Amino acid sequence: MSDYAEWIGRAIERSEPVTERMIEHFRVTLAGTRASLDVLPGFHWCLAPDAVEPQDFGRDGHPRTGIYLPALPLPRRMWAGGEVVWHGNLAQGEIVKRISTIRDVTFKQGRSGQLGFVTVDHAYEVDGEVRISDRQDIVYRDDPKPGAAPAAAPAEAWQALRSWRITPTPTLLFRYSALTFNGHRIHYDQPYVTEVEGYDGLVVHGPLQSTWMQNLATDILGRLPASFAYRGLSPLTVGRPVTVEAREVEGGLEMRVRRDEDGVVTMQGTITA
């Protein structure tokens, strides 16, 4: 693979106000899976998104690589995980500056072939004060090969401290994509997601699943956590009921999203209280 060292340290700054409309639309989108705060955990992902003209779309509907992110020679993009650290919360009327910096570009060989990883650090500032630090781990991979993905095993049973149940729908995916200005076709384009990317249906956003866990943890603690590290394990597609659940561990909470039909965990994370 080529050397992408020249991308390391590249930064982009954008600003956007926190509006009453945006707060309310995020709240109603998370009906049944939200904490009791004015500005909910995960809201920052609605602010200052990447935006390009249609001629600069990649095949997947995202801005093509080489504009904001390096042009890795692998076609499929996934938000694989990351970590959110809260130094404070956001409030209506504030102007939030998002500073996005590419930290690293690496490659490794996985079971399904070559994988490329791009790590991006996002700092969300208000008047020069960092309110939220957010590391995003993006993985790029080859198109799927027939029979290449083995079935995931069901997870161990938990004695959950608290849980929520939700069945994601196409409307939920549309509303979340609109709020975050996410054009990835795996969330709304059925022929593309099944025939090109090889999934069995419209894919539920990784950050949406992370948002469910962040809100459940905040609801349990009665406040924002100190931090939340998370990673995706298996795809979740629409129409498949899941349980978002938490259990106590030393120093915080262990979180996961688990498919009800087969017990497979689609995303897991650790809350530091």
Query: Tell me: the pLDDT tens digits for 93-109?
Result: 999 999 999 999 999 98
Asked if pLDDT for residue 1 goes beyond 80, the answer is: no
User: 173 lies in a domain?
Assistant: yes
Asked if pLDDT for residue 229 goes beyond 70, the answer is: yes
Q: What is the rounded average pLDDT of the residues 188-207?
A: 96
The number of helices, as runs of H, and strands, as runs of E, in the chain is: 4, 10
Contact predicate 46/27, CB 8 Å: no
User: 1 lies in a domain?
Assistant: no
Contact predicate 199/235, CB 8 Å: yes
Q: What percent of the chain has pLDDT over 70?
A: 97
Query: Tell me: the pLDDT tens digits for 156-174?
Result: 999 999 999 999 999 999 9
Contact predicate 119/134, CB 8 Å: no
Contact predicate 219/203, CB 8 Å: no
CB contact set of 95 (below 8 Å; sequence gap of 6+): 15, 16, 17, 18, 126
Residue with token string 């992408």: 4
CATH of the domain at 177: 3.10.129.10
- pTM for this model (two decimals): 0.95
Query: Tell me: the pLDDT tens digits for 111-167?
Result: 778 899 999 999 999 999 999 999 999 999 998 876 656 678 889 999 999 999 999
Position 149 scores a pLDDT of 62
Asked if pLDDT for residue 199 goes beyond 90, the answer is: yes
Q: How far apart are CA 164 and CA 246, in angstroms?
A: 9
Asked if pLDDT for residue 17 goes beyond 60, the answer is: yes
Q: What is the rounded average pLDDT of the residues 181-209?
A: 96
User: 119 lies in a domain?
Assistant: yes
- Domain residue limits at 220: 7-272
User: 268 lies in a domain?
Assistant: yes
Q: How far apart are CA 134 and CA 126, in angstroms?
A: 15
Position 254 scores a pLDDT of 98
Asked if pLDDT for residue 8 goes beyond 80, the answer is: yes
User: 217 lies in a domain?
Assistant: yes
User: 156 lies in a domain?
Assistant: yes
For the chain, what is the domain count? 1
Query: Which of 124, 116, 79, 123 is closest to 101 using CA atoms?
Result: 123
Q: Which residue has the higher pLDDT, 52 or 144?
A: 52
Q: Which residues of 167-191 are buried (b: 16+ CB within 10 A; e: fewer)?
A: ebeeebbebbbebbebbbbbbbbee
Q: What is the rounded average pLDDT of the residues 63-90?
A: 94
User: 77 lies in a domain?
Assistant: yes
Q: What is the rounded average pLDDT of the residues 49-53?
A: 95
User: 2 lies in a domain?
Assistant: no
Average pLDDT over all residues of the chain: 95
Q: Which two tokens stand for residue 18?
A: 């926190």
